[in-house]
Amino acid sequence: MMHTNLYAVVALGLTIVVAPACATKKLVRTEVGAVNGKVDTLRTALEATQERTRQTETRTAAVDDKAEAAGRSAASARTAADNAALAAKDVDARLSGRLNTVETSARRLIYEVTLSEDQGDFAFDRSALPDDAKARLDQMINQMKANPKGVFIEIEGHTDNVGNTAYNERLGLERADAVKRYLYEQHQVPLHKINVISYGEVKPVAPNTTRAGRAQNRRVVVRVLS
């Protein structure tokens, strides 16, 4: 009887000890499972975020490429437009010169003035009108007053051959424009009575191989026609 009771006590003791241990293991497994679930959820969210970031970076790079391409295209368009404007201006100047040549071929030359550096006028690489040139233009205007009707003025700008052709054409035009502006502002000569053209370096009156020759070629020729 005593053995039976002893066995009963021992069995009860084991039950008390084992039962909490089993319960603890079950709780741990439950909590570990929950943590693993949260980890999986976070991993999934992180992967989704990384994918969205990658897509955003790809779209941003594409937008940057398009913006850069648009910038290059705009720059090319501006360059083309500038070149077209310069070409149109050049054509207009040449056409104006040809039309004026046709018109003035039937006119009579009544007065001519040549303003050049060798006479103390236009200096190298300069288009400003010197005082000596202004005085000669004033004298020309006084001569014109004797026959003011039907007068037409043709102004040619010329240069030496130093520098490139395009630059010399611009410089010749600036010199001719300086004379035109003086006649209009100081003597009120109507602008429609004045034609300006630049020949640049293509019509020298002296060899460009000498300093004196180049000085003669840097000139403006003013012709008064009737």
The whole-angstrom separation of Cα 187 and Cα 199 is: 25
163: tokens are 């520098």
pLDDT cut 70: percent of the chain above it: 63
**Which of 99, 117, 120 lies closest to 197 in space, CA to CA?**
99
The most confident of 55-69, 119-133, 146-160, by mean pLDDT? 146-160
Provide the pLDDT confidence category of residue 23 given band limits of 50, 70 and 90.
Answer: low
Most confident of 68-82, 127-141, 174-188: 174-188
Annotated domain spans of the chain = 1-88, 107-225
Q: Average per-residue pLDDT in the chain?
A: 76
Instruction: Give the residue among 112, 104, 120, 199 at the shortest CA–CA distance from 152.
Output: 104
Q: How far is Cα 213 from Cα 206, in angstroms, rounded to an integer? A: 5
pLDDT at 167 over 70: yes
Question: Count of residues for the chain?
Answer: 226
Q: Compute how many other C-beta atoms are within 10 angstroms of the C-beta atom of residue 182.
A: 17
For residue 197, list its beta bridge partners.
156
pLDDT at 77: 72
> Given 3.30.430.20, 3.30.565.10, 1.10.10.10, 3.30.1330.60, which CATH number is that of 107-225?
3.30.1330.60
What integer pLDDT is reported at residue 99 of this predicted model?
46
Contact (Cβ atoms closer than 8 angstroms) between residue 160 and residue 202: no
Phi, psi torsion values for 63, nearest 5 degrees? -65, -40
